């Protein structure tokens, strides 16, 4: 048997093969005439007579051919008719068309854009070759209270020596430091980080210009550990990120080999990284190489300073699990061997992707699930609109069927109409998704992991569209099938008589209503819980007053401010100058802004054996007026003042929770302790207790915190906090002037108000709340429209019945009650099913909740109330129509 193309394809081809077909027909008919001619000749006619007779007998070749073409293209004419009719029907039923198209567009748009974001974070490859072989190794506290912390150089060394799973391992300083780059156009704030020479090979990245680090490029690791204060001369080679190369060197290939000064220290540029490379520590301008050996051989720094991140590339064929287990085993051994250093610490390995996705994983999955719910509601809604449309057209179809339209023709009519709808809705959805991906990307911004780059996924969009459009088709066509079926006469009779819609279609409509209610209430509860959490988090007291406070930072180059005296003097003069500015209420400086304190230090109270592992507390260096400026209350003792001198006995102010933790009897004042890893370090006296500050707002309990005076430790980073009398932003220009008067080469960094800074800290939390609330609103709208269109068609179908009832004496109120009762029943059923959905949603968002119980009655109550209110409004319009049925008009239809 010959292989043939499918009929549809052949039919389409036929249009394009018009000319060839014409020729074929010509030949075929010529043969016919010829054969007839020869027959006539055999019968005794002359050649010429026979030919003429045959031609006459055969008739017009042209007309036969035309008839042939008509047969072959008849289906196309029908298609054109259907498309025309489809458009006409849709224009006549504008309301229906708009609902269906908008529903499709929203459903497709929302899902495609959310999936784009989720995919960019959870599915797209990391920007490293064979990134599934990359593993991140973290330190942290043994009790997991501070997970994902840094490791000590000693631990990195031991893991490197004992492991067998990795091809290579490379350590790096996890937090980028800031340094001033002396560009020709003036000083610029840049970020830099320290990496081991094999760092880029381990990630599998080679520079786009120049070379990568060699072992002999590395400089003393003590320089990196101490921030340039220890370790001697720190000059050495530097590698640029592509971004820094573009920004600072205008992409000049000649930049490689050039000598530059970063923080006043000369460096030579040896390479530029490729565009798109982002290290596990995030976006960084400069990379320096360090040698960990000097740190490992330093008795105290080796195991008591946790400061390194570690990344490794697995040997081919080694599973992530095996590496995780190996690191755990090595760590167990290290805890046994160095209990004094390691007992309170932990170490664990995880895939680099998981490490870089960080905390965004759960919110994204919640978002994906919510947009999935929106998609389900979209499908239900489309089903509802198609169904109600089919219901209102039953009579039309019955007439068409009675006039001889076959079932196939009716289905095709509906299919063309649906296709017109689907294409319009699909295109609108694609446009919406393109726009939404950008918006969501902007909105998410810093909340997403550094490597994420959301872009539309057409495959996912197709699947989403297919699902939504398919549902619409299914319900529209299924309904048409029941009408175009065998019992045309009955349908026609019933419809024209106007008997009520069938029980099965009413049940289907009801189930669609219930389903939408269930999905919608789950989504609303989820959105409500997240909103309340965010609100609780944003409004919970932080332990200080951020209003009217302006913050910013100045980084003192270690080369220009090499001794403590010069740094102390700068700080003092800067504070004095700011203090005299008009509009300034009070001025403080510190190492970091509250809520952004990253430094932790080990604590050993006096009298406790120093070989016992130290618990860690947050540590910050602050000026005399820090507590007053931020409104942190003094509970006991005193804060810092001029008694603190570089040569006076060291002092510390502790937070209430720290005092409670180490001196539960309330006698903290006057007690002494050691901070930091060195057991020989001088004892520090507790002189004051201040109120707690919540550094991490996602944590309910404030972390213990120790403050020391900048008078005794003048570090090169000067973060200032200025409380203004009026608008804090009005102080920016004057502060810049004062700084320039002190030192022209110092740029002002990260200037913003404290409330703004706090708001940015919540950006990651705000994204899921914002989107889920938007989804909730969308779901509410869709479900209301769905409920409306279903009940509108249900009441329309029963108009005659209602008219009859009224003619027989029913009151409009009774009719309304009848419809309302039916609607309320399905809505209640939906809410009952919704209880299950709520349980599932609550389980999903539980980890993201803060300050609100998962089954918060207020949230659940409000969600149900909102939904019921919307559904009621959607019900009222059809009910009003039902009660206004004019008995005589309805009965005339008989």
Partner 1 sequence: MAVRDFDLIQGTLDLLVLKCLGTGANHGYGIAQRIHQLSADALRIEEGSLYPALYRMEEQGLIESEWRTTENNRKAKFYTLTRKGRATADAELDSWRRLSKAVTRVLRALEQGA
Residues that bind partner 1 (CB under 8 A): 2, 4, 7, 11, 24-25, 27-29, 31-32, 34-36, 58-59, 63-64, 67-68, 70-72, 75
Other C-beta atoms lying within 10 Å of the C-beta of residue 886? 12
Q: In the complex with partner 1, which residue's Cβ is closer, 65 or 247?
A: 65
Q: For the CB of residue 37, give the shortest distance to partner 1 in the complex, in Å.
A: 11
| Maximum CA extent, the chain | 141
Q: For the CB of residue 41, give the shortest distance to partner 1 in the complex, in Å.
A: 13
> What token pair was written down for 435?
């726009």
How far lies 592's CA from each of 87, 417, 749, in Å?
65, 64, 12
Burial 751-780 (b: 16+ CB within 10 A, else e): bbbbeebbeebbebbbbbbbbbbebbebbb
Kindly give the interhelix angle for 857-883 and 812-845, rounded to the nearest 10 degrees.
150
Kindly give the interhelix angle for 361-392 and 763-797, rounded to the nearest 10 degrees.
10
- E strand residue ranges, 361-509: none
Q: In the complex with partner 1, which residue's Cβ is closer, 26 or 886?
A: 26
DSSP 126: P
Q: In the complex with partner 1, which residue's Cβ is closer, 67 or 729?
A: 67
Q: In the complex with partner 1, which residue's Cβ is closer, 75 or 628?
A: 75
Q: For the CB of residue 71, give the shortest distance to partner 1 in the complex, in Å.
A: 4
Q: For the CB of residue 69, give the shortest distance to partner 1 in the complex, in Å.
A: 9
Q: For the CB of residue 411, give the shortest distance to partner 1 in the complex, in Å.
A: 18
* Whole-angstrom Cα Rg for the chain: 39
Q: In the complex with partner 1, which residue's Cβ is closer, 29 or 698?
A: 29
CA distance 632 to 542: 10
Q: For the CB of residue 51, give the shortest distance to partner 1 in the complex, in Å.
A: 15
Q: For the CB of residue 486, give the shortest distance to partner 1 in the complex, in Å.
A: 18
Q: For the CB of residue 402, give the shortest distance to partner 1 in the complex, in Å.
A: 21
CA distance 849 to 528: 11
Q: In the complex with partner 1, which residue's Cβ is closer, 40 or 627?
A: 40
How far lies 613's CA from each of 347, 492, 531, 891, in Å?
15, 88, 41, 92
CA dihedral 175, 178, 179, 180 (to 10 degrees): 160
> What token pair was written down for 316?
């081919």
Q: In the complex with partner 1, which residue's Cβ is closer, 35 or 98?
A: 35
Choose among 471, 466, 476: nearest CA to 411.
476
Q: In the complex with partner 1, which residue's Cβ is closer, 78 or 866?
A: 78
DSSP 198: T
Other C-beta atoms lying within 10 Å of the C-beta of residue 884? 10
Burial 552-579 (b: 16+ CB within 10 A, else e): bbbbbbbebbeeeeebbebbeebbebbe
Q: In the complex with partner 1, which residue's Cβ is closer, 60 or 332?
A: 60
Q: In the complex with partner 1, which residue's Cβ is closer, 11 or 881?
A: 11
**Pair 311, 131: CB distance under 8 Å:** no
CA distance 393 to 387: 10
Q: For the CB of residue 23, give the shortest distance to partner 1 in the complex, in Å.
A: 12
CA distance 276 to 286: 15
Q: In the complex with partner 1, which residue's Cβ is closer, 27 or 92?
A: 27
Q: For the CB of residue 59, give the shortest distance to partner 1 in the complex, in Å.
A: 6
Q: In the complex with partner 1, which residue's Cβ is closer, 2 or 821?
A: 2
Task: Return the half-sphere exposure (C-beta side, CA atoms, 13 A cut-off) of residue 460.
Answer: 23
**Pair 119, 791: CB distance under 8 Å:** no
Q: For the CB of residue 33, give the shortest distance to partner 1 in the complex, in Å.
A: 9
Q: For the CB of residue 54, give the shortest distance to partner 1 in the complex, in Å.
A: 10
Q: In the complex with partner 1, which residue's Cβ is closer, 14 or 887?
A: 14
Q: For the CB of residue 64, give the shortest distance to partner 1 in the complex, in Å.
A: 5
Burial 781-799 (b: 16+ CB within 10 A, else e): bbbbbbbbbbbbbbbbbbb
How far lies 848's CA from each of 392, 446, 737, in Å?
46, 18, 44
CA distance 426 to 111: 12
Q: In the complex with partner 1, which residue's Cβ is closer, 54 or 222?
A: 54
In 445-502, which ranges are continuous DSSP H helix? 458-484, 488-497
How far lies 487's CA from each of 251, 450, 481, 482, 498, in Å?
77, 64, 11, 9, 16
Q: In the complex with partner 1, which residue's Cβ is closer, 35 or 877?
A: 35
CA distance 521 to 865: 10
Q: For the CB of residue 397, give the shortest distance to partner 1 in the complex, in Å.
A: 25
Q: For the CB of residue 5, give the shortest distance to partner 1 in the complex, in Å.
A: 12
The pair phi, psi for residue 30, each rounded to 5°, is -60, -40
> What token pair was written down for 340?
């004094």
Q: For the CB of residue 77, give the shortest distance to partner 1 in the complex, in Å.
A: 13
Q: In the complex with partner 1, which residue's Cβ is closer, 59 or 339?
A: 59
In 198-281, which ranges are continuous DSSP H helix? 199-203, 221-226, 242-249
Gap between the terminal Cα atoms of the chain: 58
Choose among 178, 381, 204: nearest CA to 263.
178
> What token pair was written down for 180?
């001033």
Q: In the complex with partner 1, which residue's Cβ is closer, 74 or 832?
A: 74
Q: In the complex with partner 1, which residue's Cβ is closer, 54 or 831?
A: 54
How far lies 293's CA from each of 164, 169, 298, 388, 833, in Å?
21, 15, 9, 77, 64
Q: For the CB of residue 825, give the shortest distance to partner 1 in the complex, in Å.
A: 50
Q: For the CB of residue 72, give the shortest distance to partner 1 in the complex, in Å.
A: 6
């Amino acid at each position: 048997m010959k292989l043939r193309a499918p009929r549809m394809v052949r039919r389409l081809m036929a249009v394009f093969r018009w000319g060839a077909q014409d020729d074929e027909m010509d030949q075929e008919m010529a043969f016919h005439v010829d054969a007839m001619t020869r027959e006539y000749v055999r019968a005794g006619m002359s050649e010429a007579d026979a030919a003429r007779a045959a031609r006459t007998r055969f008739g017009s070749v042209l007309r036969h051919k035309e008839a042939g073409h008509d047969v072959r293209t008849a289906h196309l004419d029908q298609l054109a008719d259907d498309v025309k009719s489809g458009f006409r029907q849709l224009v006549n039923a504008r309301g229906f068309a708009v609902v269906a198209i908008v529903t499709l567009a929203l459903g497709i748009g929302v899902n495609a854009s959310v999936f784009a974001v989720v995919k960019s974070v959870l599915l797209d490859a990391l920007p490293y070759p064979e990134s599934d072989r990359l593993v991140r190794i973290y330190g942290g506290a043994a009790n997991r209270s501070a997970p994902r912390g840094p490791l000590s150089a000693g631990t990195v060394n031991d893991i490197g020596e004992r492991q067998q799973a990795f091809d290579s391992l490379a350590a790096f300083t996890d937090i980028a430091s800031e340094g001033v780059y002396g560009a020709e156009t003036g000083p610029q704030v840049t970020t830099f980080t320290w990496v081991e020479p094999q760092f880029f090979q381990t990630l599998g990245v080679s520079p786009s210009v120049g070379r990568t680090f060699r072992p002999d490029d590395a400089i003393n690791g003590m320089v990196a550990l101490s921030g340039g204060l220890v370790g001697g001369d720190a000059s050495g080679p530097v590698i640029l990120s592509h971004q820094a190369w573009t920004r600072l060197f205008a992409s000049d290939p000649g930049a490689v080999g050039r000598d530059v000064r970063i923080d006043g220290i000369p460096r030579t540029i040896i390479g530029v990284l490729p565009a798109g490379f982002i290290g596990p520590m995030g976006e960084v301008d400069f990379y320096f190489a360090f040698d960990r050996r000097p740190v490992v051989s330093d008795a105290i720094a080796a195991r008591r300073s946790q400061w390194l991140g570690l990344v490794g590339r697995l040997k081919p064929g080694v599973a992530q699990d095996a590496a995780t287990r190996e690191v755990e085993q090595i760590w167990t051994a290290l805890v046994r061997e160095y209990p004094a250093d390691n007992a309170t610490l932990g170490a664990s390995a995880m895939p680099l992707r998981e490490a870089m996705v960080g905390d965004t994983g759960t919110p994204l999955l919640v978002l994906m699930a919510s947009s999935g719910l929106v998609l389900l509601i979209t499908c239900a809604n489309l089903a509802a609109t198609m169904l109600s449309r089919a219901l209102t057209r039953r009579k039309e179809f019955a007439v068409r069927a009675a006039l001889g339209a076959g079932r196939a023709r009716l289905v095709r009519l509906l299919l063309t109409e649906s296709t017109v709808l689907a294409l319009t809705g699909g295109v609108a959805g694609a446009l919406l998704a393109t726009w939404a991906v950008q918006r969501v990307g902007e909105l998410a911004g810093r909340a997403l992991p550094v490597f994420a780059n959301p872009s539309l996924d057409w495959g996912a969009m197709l699947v989403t569209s297919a699902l939504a459009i398919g549902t619409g088709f299914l319900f529209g066509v299924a309904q048409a099938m029941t009408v175009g079926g065998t019992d045309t006469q009955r349908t026609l009779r019933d419809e024209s008589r106007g008997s009520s819609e069938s029980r099965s279609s009413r049940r289907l409509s009801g189930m669609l209503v219930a389903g939408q209610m269930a999905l919608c209430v789950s989504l609303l509860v989820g959105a409500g819980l997240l909103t309340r959490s965010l609100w609780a988090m944003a409004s919970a007291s932080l332990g200080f007053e951020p209003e009217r406070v302006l913050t910013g930072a100045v980084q003192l180059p270690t080369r220009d401010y090499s001794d403590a005296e010069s740094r102390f003097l700068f700080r003092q003069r800067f504070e004095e100058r700011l203090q005299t500015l008009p509009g300034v209420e009070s001025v403080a400086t510190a190492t970091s802004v509250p809520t952004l304190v990253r430094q932790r230090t080990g604590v050993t109270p006096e009298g406790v054996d120093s070989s016992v592992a130290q618990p860690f507390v947050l540590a910050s260096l602050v000026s005399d007026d820090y507590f007053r400026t931020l409104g942190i209350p003094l509970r006991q003792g005193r804060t810092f003042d001029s008694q603190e001198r570089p040569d006076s006995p060291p002092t510390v102010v502790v937070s209430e929770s720290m005092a409670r933790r180490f001196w539960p009897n309330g006698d903290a004042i006057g007690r002494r302790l050691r901070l930091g890893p060195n057991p020989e370090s001088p004892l520090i006296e507790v002189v004051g207790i201040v109120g707690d500050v919540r550094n991490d707002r996602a944590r309910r309990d404030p972390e213990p915190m120790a403050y020391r005076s900048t008078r005794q430790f003048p570090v090169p980073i000067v973060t200032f906090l200025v409380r203004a009398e009026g608008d804090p932003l009005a102080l920016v220009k004057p502060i810049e002037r004062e700084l320039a008067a002190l030192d022209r080469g110092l740029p002002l960094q990260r200037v913003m108000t404290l409330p703004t800074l706090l708001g940015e800290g919540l950006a990651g939390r705000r994204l899921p709340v914002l989107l889920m609330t938007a989804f909730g609103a969308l779901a509410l709208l869709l479900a209301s429209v769905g409920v409306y269109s279903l009940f509108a068609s249900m009441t329309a179908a029963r108009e005659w019945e209602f008219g009859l009832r009224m003619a027989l004496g029913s009151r409009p109120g009774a009719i309304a009650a009848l419809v309302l009762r039916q609607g309320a029943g399905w809505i209640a059923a939906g809410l009952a099913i919704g209880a299950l959905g709520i349980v599932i949603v609550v389980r999903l968002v539980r980890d993201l909740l803060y300050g609100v119980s998962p089954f918060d009655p207020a949230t659940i109550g409000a969600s149900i109330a909102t939904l019921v209110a919307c559904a009621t409004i959607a019900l009222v319009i059809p009910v009003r129509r039902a009660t206004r049925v004019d008995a005589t008009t309805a009965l005339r239809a008989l």
